Amino acid sequence: MDLLLEQFEAAKIQYQEDRYMAPCCNSGWAKLDKYYALTGRTPVYIATTVLCPAFKWEYFKSTWEDVWITRGKVKMQEFWEEKYKSKAIVLPPQANTKTTVQ
C-alpha cells in the first residue's frame, strides 16, 4: 500500500496541470488513503508484513515513525494473545517410521 500511495503522490504532482488526469489522481489517492487508514484498525497489515521473511519489522523501521512501530508491536501482541496464545496445538499423528533391513 505504501508503494501505491507514493505512486499517487508522484502522479498528483506530475499531472497537477492536466485537467483530466489531475482529478483521476486525486480520486485514486483519496480512495487508497481511505483504505490505508482502515489498516490501522486491524493488525492484519502489520502481521502479514512482519511474518514475511523478506520484510519482518525492518520494513516498518525504514518507513514508519518510532511511535507507530511501538503501537504496531502492542497490536501484534494483543492479536497473538487474543487469537493464538490460548489455542492448543494439535499435531497430526506421526506415521510409522520403522524401517526393516532386508
Q: Please check whether residue 83 lies inside any domain of the structure.
A: no
pLDDT digits 0-9 by tens, 26-43: 898 899 888 888 877 788
Q: Do 33 and 54 lie in a common domain?
A: no
Residue 72 neighbours by CB under 8 Å, 6+ apart: 43, 46, 60, 64
Q: Do 35 and 47 lie in a common domain?
A: no
Q: Please check whether residue 58 lies inside any domain of the structure.
A: yes
Q: Do 22 and 54 lie in a common domain?
A: no
Query: Is pLDDT larger for residue 96 or for residue 53?
Result: 53
Q: Do 31 and 58 lie in a common domain?
A: no
Q: Do 53 and 25 lie in a common domain?
A: no
Which of the 8 DSSP states describes residue 87? P
User: By residue range, what is the domain housing residue 65?
Assistant: 43-75
pLDDT digits 0-9 by tens, 55-98: 999 999 998 899 989 999 999 999 889 888 888 778 888 776 66
Total domain count for the chain?
2
